[in-house]
Amino acid sequence: MKRKVLTIALLSLAFGMNAQENTKDVQEVILQGNRMDIPFSQAARDVQVITSEEIKKLPAKSLNELLTFVGGVDVKQRGPFGTQADISIDGGSFEQTLVLVNGMKMIDSQTAHNMMNLPITLDAIDHIEVLRGAAARVYGINALTGAINIVTKKTKNSFVAVDLFGGSSFKSKEEGDGSGIYTGGGVQVTGNLGTEKQSHLFSAGKTSSNGQRYNSAQEGHKFFYNGAYRFNENHSIQALAGYTKNHFGANGFYAAPSDRNSEEIVNTSMFSISSKHQFGNVTISPRISDRYNEDDYRFYKDNLGVARSRHYTNALMMELNGNMKTSIGQFGLGWETRLEKINSSNIGDRERDNHGAYAEFKTQLTDKLMANLGAYVNYNSDYGWKMYPGLDMAYMVDQHWKISASVGSGQRIPSFTDLYLDQKPGNVGNPFVQPENAWQYEANVNYTKGGFSAQTGYFFRDITDFIDWIRPDASVPYSPVNFGKNKIHGFYARVQHSFSLGENQRLGYRLSYNFLSPKIYGDDTNQSKYVLESLKHQFIAGLQYSIQDFSVQVENRWMKRELNKGYNVTDIRLNYQWKDFVVYSDITNIFEAQYRESGAVPMPGRWFSLGFRYLWQNNK
């Protein structure tokens, strides 16, 4: 315990990342998840942005690992190398957070367990936007506690990036699971062909490991394309396509200990085509997209004729967004349709439609006061009409200080698993469960000057018809019910600073702390499936030092869940750059903390890895 406290104290300067340059870059980022693009510096609510430069320096090789270093985001991994993970924001469930890729929703109507099955390599990412709070007005359904929008690169400069990495714990594998030591690695290739009028981004990746414990081996493949063509300054077209396959041992994932010999294969494909047209002060952006997912869960991998679940899910989405700039402000208006279908061995053949329309108004009330007001109206073929309003306001005290406040509402529609799953004796759906609804109130203060920035805020979220999977005792299956109300008070604070130590030397740090105080009003005599995993404390700290072509980044995470012991994980990355080559080495979980992020899956202990990265770019 003393060693952990000392580690936290030494690292309580968190996340060093060349903040002086990055602060400027972040201020210039255009938040693209919103239907009306807004510069980061003008955001009227709490939005965190992770830039591509920050991504390069963090000790992470997958998107799942990367998001563990973001304050307020809770990533419950069931294994390394992007095996499988549930993601939530500010104490919500994994079903209440929305993930998007370039604004395209990754909602999986079967289950949000598959939402992070994404085909994107880290070198393909331009930045990540993390918006916290109920956000139906901005993103529509299922953004109950927030949204994460992954924005890929779109540049006129051509480049090729190759990343090759591998590593081991240098420990023997578990008895009965083959011989040798636990090893794993991967390769990622990303390239862009760009000109003044077009860009074509391609990426591919593969990861493989033999498993840190019995039946936990993993193999994953990713392929992604994002293209854009600009006809002229007023008209452009964009296309996106991706495919990923993830095959992994699922020991302890969902039904421990009886699922010791389970495995799962998840295939996800996606495409989107959109365009943007500007006519004077009016902009129109239509889009059609589709996400298809196959989930093959084999309870007994050596006996496929027993307890095998196969799900085929598809969502066809169509939307039309528009905005108009006037002398009094900017108006946004849009419509979207989502058609969902599933064919499943233990859910059946199901389908439903969702239609939404929104109206939004953004204005500068005074030189210092900004406001963004709007509402989202939703119609679901199973649940009828609902309306979700929201208001964001920000006051610029001066060029350094900003005060903002927001009130917003949101909805989470039950998944097909919630409603119709028949997986006795473990889990059984409830066709009578109703959507969750929430209101969130938030206020925060921001200060930025040079390479220093600080934010602090408070929020209160009130969820009605809260859905939880419960059972009276272990003799009956878990089943979802509208448990009652879920009220959460939350506080967060972040500090980031970077400064020069002299010629060719920099030191940076960043600190992030989140505290959550949840209260569930309902029948507490039942066993809950998720209350034990509710996050209470999160402290993320890191330190970065660079001198000429060498840099070191240390990251520390302390997590304390509602009814479980806290754990402390420390990672380090060393980078050395020579011309177009970077050699890096990671040590993950340096002090071999024993911890679980989800279910009955213990995460790996100390892990060593070595990587080589090559980058060629044409800056002409």
For residue 412, give the nearest of 457, 374, 461 by alpha carbon: 461
Read off the tokens for 77: 């991994």
**What are the phi and psi torsion angles at 298 (to 5°)?**
-110, 105
pTM: 0.92
Report d(CA 555, CA 542) in Å as an integer. Answer: 4
Read off the tokens for 81: 């190398």
pLDDT of amino acid 28 = 60
Helix and strand numbers, DSSP H then E, in the chain? 6, 34
Inside any domain, residue 582: no
Contact assessment for residue 400 and residue 447, using Cβ atoms and an 8 Å cutoff: yes
pLDDT of amino acid 89 = 93
Inside any domain, residue 271: yes
pLDDT of amino acid 18 = 36
Inside any domain, residue 553: no
Residues 6+ apart with CB under 8 A from 161: 123, 188, 189, 190, 191, 613, 614, 615, 616
Q: Phi-psi category of 133—alpha, beta or left, where left has phi over 0 and alpha has psi -120 to 50?
A: left
Inside any domain, residue 142: yes
Contact assessment for residue 124 and residue 203, using Cβ atoms and an 8 Å cutoff: yes
Read off the tokens for 592: 């071999």
Report d(CA 495, CA 541) in Å as an integer. Answer: 10
In eight-state DSSP terms, residue 113 is G
Domain limits for position 363: 14-441+458-488+515-534+559-567+592-602
Cis amide leading into 518 (omega within 30): no
Report d(CA 461, CA 495) in Å as an integer. Answer: 24
In eight-state DSSP terms, residue 532 is G
Percent of the chain with pLDDT over 70: 91
Contact assessment for residue 46 and residue 444, using Cβ atoms and an 8 Å cutoff: yes
Place of tokens 């331009």: 126
Inside any domain, residue 65: yes
pLDDT of amino acid 17 = 34
Domain with 254 in it: what CATH number?
Answer: 2.40.170
pLDDT of amino acid 1 = 44
| Segment holding 5, helix H or strand E | helix 2-10
Report d(CA 534, CA 530) in Å as an integer. Answer: 7
Inside any domain, residue 212: yes
Residues making up the chain, counted from first to last: 620
Percent of the chain with pLDDT over 90: 70
For residue 529, give the nearest of 28, 76, 132 by alpha carbon: 76
Contact assessment for residue 101 and residue 270, using Cβ atoms and an 8 Å cutoff: yes
Contact assessment for residue 108 and residue 114, using Cβ atoms and an 8 Å cutoff: yes
pLDDT of amino acid 24 = 47
pLDDT along the chain (620 residues), means of 10: 41 36 55 61 80 90 93 89 88 91 93 92 94 87 92 93 94 78 94 95 95 90 97 96 96 85 96 96 96 95 92 97 94 95 96 96 93 95 95 94 94 94 84 95 94 94 90 83 89 94 91 92 68 82 94 95 88 95 96 86 91 88
pLDDT of amino acid 7 = 43
Report d(CA 234, CA 253) in Å as an integer. Answer: 50
Overall domain count for the chain: 1
Report d(CA 526, CA 510) in Å as an integer. Answer: 41
SS (H, E, C) 7-46: HHHHCCCCCCCCHHHHHHHHHHCEECCCCCCEEHHHCCCC
Place of tokens 């967060």: 492
Read off the tokens for 320: 């039309």
Inside any domain, residue 563: yes
pLDDT of amino acid 534 = 76
pLDDT of amino acid 14 = 35
Inside any domain, residue 103: yes
